[in-house]
Each structure stands twice: as C-alpha cells, then as structure tokens.
Amino acid sequence: MSFRVKHIVFLYLLSFSALLAQITPIISENVEELLLRVRTSSLEDTRALAQASLLFAREIDRSIGFAGIPRRAMQLTILRPGESVSEHESDLCFPHGSNSLLISYELCKALLRRRIEEDLGLPVAKPDSIDWLAAAVCRRVFFGGKGLSSYYRPDYSVAQRQFRQGRFPKLEILLRISPSPKRSAIFRLYMLHCDLFLARLENLPEGSSFIRQLLELELHGRSPCEALEFLLGENLLPPDNLQSWYEKGVQAESVRGLRFNELDSILSELEDLFNPVILQPGEKRSIKKIPMRDMPKHLKDYNLNTQAISLMQNRLSRLSKQAPFLLQEPMYKFNAALGTLRQNKRRRSQKEFKLAEKEFQKALARQSRIAELHEKHAAAKMPPLLPFASFLNAVDLAQKTKP
C-alpha cells in the first residue's frame, strides 16, 4: 500500500471516528445524594456507575466516620469512541473501553479525597492513605459485593496462605506505594492486604476516630507509619515494633469467619431498636419491652421523649446506610414514622409504621432469595484461589529459582 493510500485510509478512519462520536448519544444521571453526575454512552454503564458510586460512598463514610451531603459537585465521564480526554473538563474522565476496575478505583479515590477535604477542613493535599483506603473500599464493593448481597464475604484465604509461609507485606510499602490497576493480579493482591489492614484498624477500640486522626496527622506532614506510631503510643511496647504489631494483627484478622451475615446483624439491631424497654405506669422498677408499632397508644401514659426518639432515628439512619439496597427504602419509611411519632401524631405514626413493616417484610423475602441464588452461583462459578493462581505460582517458582 502506497503512502498516499495509507494517508487516505487514515483520514477516513479519523473522520469515521469523529462521525461515530457525534451520533453516539451521551446518557447522564445525577446522583443527588453525592452531588455527582455520571455521563457515558451506555444506559447500562451510566446506571451501574451511579449505583456503584453510592455503594463506594457509603462504605467510605462508614469506614472513616463521616456523613452528610457533599458541598462540591463532581462529574465522571466515560468518553464516546474517538473522543479525546483533553477535550473534556470532567473531574474524572476515561477513554471509551477503559477497565472497570481502574474506573472504580479512581472514583473511590476522588470520593474519599473530597470527603476528607470537606469534612476535615484541612488544606488540599493528598495523604498517602487515600490510595490504600480507596483500594480497601473498592475491593469490598467491587469484588465482595458489599451493600448488594446479604452476605458480605471478607475472604482472606489467599492472605492466610501467605501468612502461613511467613510472607507479610512491608507495612511502610503497603501504605505508601500503590501498584497500577492495569497489573491485575498484583493490584488485586494489594487490594486484599489493604482491605485486611483496614479491618484491623476498624477493630481497634477507637475505630473510625482512629482513622480520622491518622488522616489529620498525614495532612499535617507525617507519613502513614509515623502517624500510626504516634497514635498507637503505649500499644507499641518493646520488643514490638510497628511491623510486628501489623503482622500479629492482620494474621489474627485473617482467620475470622469467612462469612459475616450482614443481614442477620442488621435484623438483630432492628429487633432491639423496635422493641424498646419502658417503665410500666405507676411502677418504679417494673419494666417491659413494647413493640414499636404499639408505642403510640402507650404515649398517653408518658410525656413524649423527643430526645429518645431522635436517638432512635439516628441509629436507624446508620443502619439504613449499612443495609442491603432493597431494604433501604422501607427503613427510611420506618424513620419517617418515627418522625411523626416525635410530632405526637400517634394515629398517623401507627399507620405509617405498619405500612413500612409490610414493605420491609416483602423486601426482606426478596433480598433473602437473591442472596441464596447469588451464593449458589458464586460457589459454582469460581474456586476461591483461581484469580491469584498464576501470581502465586510465579512467586513459588521465583523462590525456588536461584538468583
């Protein structure tokens, strides 16, 4: 083919790409709760990213103890075929056909950074912990399905195998150096250890407040390991050091149950919340549990305790954010029923509570059926070590090979 013919073919392909970009529509969806606009050329991709963004944001807020609607709007765009990234001004902009894991990871980082900047009110800087925190959150939602299925499966079997062979990541490297998501096997292993380390921190007595303090110290110039050493203080008594503290902690964390029934935990809390203990009229010590649906008719014997109901609403709001997606709407209606009870509208509150309870039971039955089918499908589809098989085989081979 002559140079002239090649040039003509190239120009034709270029013009065809430009024409394709013009005729391919852009589908947009606004996620009001996150002040996020998602734009792609596919209705399915737009909806999936909008839903995923809510799950990522919920897990971020739960992990670091923040809440509320953000103040700064963001936009995520996946370009049409033939479009250039430089032509767009979105906060997050990806070429057509970009890897879904890369998009999810970058979205997690952007949501996390915005939350830190707005809620901590500190100068715009990038703490190193954004990378590993985003990797942990992304793994829980992207691979673990947290928020979609009733059963959240923190499966650390690959890490357990490494730990049994004495292989632990160097904590300083784990918290400061993030591999590229394009290196799929290595990045998934990195995400696994980040998830495991986040679980270790979440089980400290201070929980999310510890993670917030860690981020604050980083934004004031300390490295992640320096911040950890400072916050742990007397928990790092000799002969322990930060690395040994990390190894003991993640090894213990990795052997926890492979399956945590998130739904059962939420139902147990709801049972406790919706059956408050009250003092019986005319008695000083006699108490009994009263189903929440029967509370309005008992209120005539008591002064309306708005503070107690506010605490119930706050607790229910937290549970709603942790609940599987199908259960969220009826749980919001429970909260609304509590609001009418707080206004002393007893009959209306009782009616709204019964309707919410009916919807909740219907959603619960559907959620349980989905979870059952999901478990069967997942178990039949993929052995637990398959995604890491080639990587682990390469590691074993490298150890047996002399340098």
pLDDT for 34-77, tens place per residue?
999 999 988 888 888 888 899 999 999 988 888 788 999 999 99
Q: Quick one: which of 72, 69, 56 has its CA closest to 135?
A: 56
Helix (H) or strand (E) holding 261, with range, is: strand 260-261
pLDDT for 128-179, tens place per residue?
889 999 999 999 988 887 877 666 667 788 888 888 888 899 999 999 888 8
207 Cα distance to chain centroid:
16
Residue 230 pLDDT > 80, yes or no?
Answer: yes
| Residue 37, beta-bridge partner list | 30, 75
Q: Quick one: which of 136, 218, 145, 139 has its CA closest to 174?
A: 136
| Residue 279, beta-bridge partner list | 287
d(CA 230, CA 202): 17
Region 217-240: what's the mean pLDDT? 86
Q: How many CB atoms lie within 10 A of CB 181?
A: 21
Please tell me the predicted confidence (pLDDT) of residue 111.
94
Provide the residue ranges of all domains of the chain, joining segments of one domain with +: 27-258, 263-381
117 Cα distance to chain centroid:
18
Torsions phi, psi for 37 (to 5 deg)? -110, 125
Q: pTM score, two decimals?
A: 0.62
**What's the mean per-residue pLDDT of the chain?**
77
Residue predicted with more confidence, 386 or 198: 198
Share of the chain above pLDDT 90, in %: 20
191 Cα distance to chain centroid:
13
| Residue 31, beta-bridge partner list | 36
Please tell me the predicted confidence (pLDDT) of residue 261.
57
Fold of 27-258: Neutral Protease; domain 2 (1.10.390)
pLDDT for 312-357, tens place per residue?
787 787 777 777 778 888 888 888 888 887 777 778 888 888 888 8
Which amino acid, 39?
Answer: R
Helices 184-202 and 389-400, axial angle in degrees (round to 10): 100
Distances (CA, A) of 175 to 74, 212, 229, 243, 252: 27, 15, 13, 12, 19
